[in-house]
Amino acid sequence: MKHYNLNGQSAIIVGGAGYIGSHVCKALAAQGVTPIVFDNFSAGHEHAVKWGDSVAVDMRDREAIFKACAAHKTVKTIILLASSIEVGEGEKNPAFFYENNVIGTLNLLNAMQAAGQDRLIFSSTCATYGELDTMPLTEDMVQNPVSVYGKTKLAIEHMIQSYYKSYGLNYVILRYFNAAGADPDGEIGEEHDPETHLIPNALKAAAGLGKGLKLFGTDYDTPDGTCVRDYIHVNDIAAAHLDAMSAFDKGLTSTQVNIGTGVGVSVLEIIQMIEKVTGLPVPYEAGPRRDGDLTRLYADPSKAKAVLGFVPEYSELEKIIKTAWTFHSKTWNIS
Ligand code: UDP
């Protein structure tokens, strides 16, 4: 990993007990930055908080988040990852998604303002673009999200931009593509319950656990009929936060960037790579499309490189699958 000049700083990671959050904390600590985790532990895990203190706090609780920010007012950088993320759940329960994501973030922004904390790194998503025919996606393209999940993330982007314009909040919005893979040391990885993501579900099927993979849709307008995504290693996503912190130090005040590789990979290509890496077949059953899924999404990563100096180091597909498999074989006790 490259070296950053951030030694001695601190950052609050809201959602730091989650999959991406824990990798961000590890990457920060490796560069001498002290991570302080704020998490409600609804989806995150206490055992994933290994690199700093944690505060149990829910952003929906206005009083509690104001108190937590005030108690850490010397820490100027907030990294916001906490979010409801499961696309299908958002379609079933939008009230919960808007409350958790949008109202929760509004409380956090106000708490930051009251505490004088003026640097925010926000994890947004490629799902804010919606169904576009032109690929790769650049940051200036129209954002017209289809899913409730994408709509809540776009609403938050707009709130942050307003707080920049009117109150001087400095921000970097990172529009992640598909986070994948795990810490190469095998210490932390993806542990959602229930797990809805492709790579862990396909690995589970290869391991003979569960009933096999359900493949959501083979009639998309793509070369093999399955959806195309841009899979980016979670360590590279973590590094993007270090790039953003460094950019703040150099005077950056506001930007939004895609965090992807620029390479589109289909569901069937993921299955083939899993079979190659594990040496095991992936039993799967092709079924109907999943609500809210988009045909194809991949990034133009050139703005992230130009503005933040972001260059993926871990995101070769084979490495993504290998690191995920190392972590899951350990947690699933597969020898
Ligand atoms: N997918 C699938 N079976 C699963 C999970 C996902 O076929 O059990 C497909 C899904 O329809 C999408 C792709 O894999 O086309 C990536 O889905 P994932 O949930 O991992 O990420 P998303 O793109 O929704 O953020």
Query: Catalytic: 284?
Result: no
SS3 11: strand
268 within a domain of the structure (yes/no):
no
Contact 28, 51 (CB under 8 A): yes
Fill in the DSSP letter of residue 137.
B
62 within a domain of the structure (yes/no):
yes
pLDDT of residue 292: 78
60 within a domain of the structure (yes/no):
yes
Fill in the DSSP letter of residue 33.
P
From first to last of its 335 residues, the chain has per-residue pLDDT tens of 789 999 999 999 999 999 999 999 999 999 999 999 999 999 999 999 999 999 999 999 999 999 999 999 999 999 999 999 998 899 999 999 999 999 999 999 999 999 999 999 999 999 999 989 899 999 999 999 999 999 999 999 999 999 999 999 999 999 999 999 999 999 999 998 888 999 999 999 999 998 899 999 999 999 999 999 999 999 999 999 999 999 999 999 999 999 999 999 999 999 999 999 999 999 999 999 988 788 999 999 999 999 999 999 999 999 999 999 999 999 998 87
Residue 132 structural domain: 10-180+230-261+299-313
Question: Is the CB–ligand 1 distance for residue 214 below 6 Å?
Answer: yes
Q: What is the C-alpha to C-alpha distance for residues 223 and 142, in angstroms, rounded to an integer?
A: 25
SS3 8: coil
Q: Is the bond preceding 136 in cis, omega lying within 30 degrees of 0? A: yes
Long-range contacts of 139-143 (CB under 8 A, 24+ apart): 139/175, 139/256, 139/257, 139/258, 139/303
Identify any residues that bridge with 173 across adjacent strands, giving them in sequence order.
122, 256
Cα separation values, 124 from 25, 71, 152, 184, Å: 18, 26, 10, 24
127 within a domain of the structure (yes/no):
yes
To test ligand 1's pocket by mutation, which of 197, 269, 320 has the most ligand atoms within 8 angstroms of CB? 197
21 within a domain of the structure (yes/no):
yes
Identify any residues that bridge with 76 across adjacent strands, giving them in sequence order.
none
Beta strand 228-229 with 265-266 is antiparallel
pLDDT of residue 150: 95
State the distance from the centre of ligand 1 to the C-alpha of 87, rounded, in angstroms.
10
Residue with the smallest CA separation from ligand 1 atom 21 is: 197
Q: What is the C-alpha to C-alpha distance for residues 231 and 68, in angstroms, rounded to an integer?
A: 34
326 within a domain of the structure (yes/no):
no
To test ligand 1's pocket by mutation, which of 229, 266, 289 has the most ligand atoms within 8 angstroms of CB? 229
Residue 173 backbone dihedrals phi, psi, to 5 degrees: -95, 120
205 within a domain of the structure (yes/no):
no
Considering the candidates 4, 19, 129, 149, report the single residue annotated as catalytic. Answer: 149
CATH for 73: 3.40.50.720
Q: What is the C-alpha to C-alpha distance for residues 12 and 33, in angstroms, rounded to an integer?
A: 10
Least Cα distance to 235 among 161, 325, 174, 323 occurs for 323
Long-range contacts of 93-96 (CB under 8 A, 24+ apart): 94/148
DSSP string, 227-290: -EE-EEEHHHHHHHHHHHHHHHHTT--EEEEEES-S--EEHHHHHHHHHHHHSS---EEEEPPP
Q: What is the C-alpha to C-alpha distance for residues 296 and 143, in angstroms, rounded to an integer?
A: 15
State the distance from the centre of ligand 1 to the C-alpha of 198, rounded, in angstroms.
5
Q: Element (H or E) spanning 80, and its range?
A: strand 77-80
271 within a domain of the structure (yes/no):
no
pLDDT of residue 156: 98
pLDDT of residue 223: 97
Q: How many domains does the chain have?
A: 1
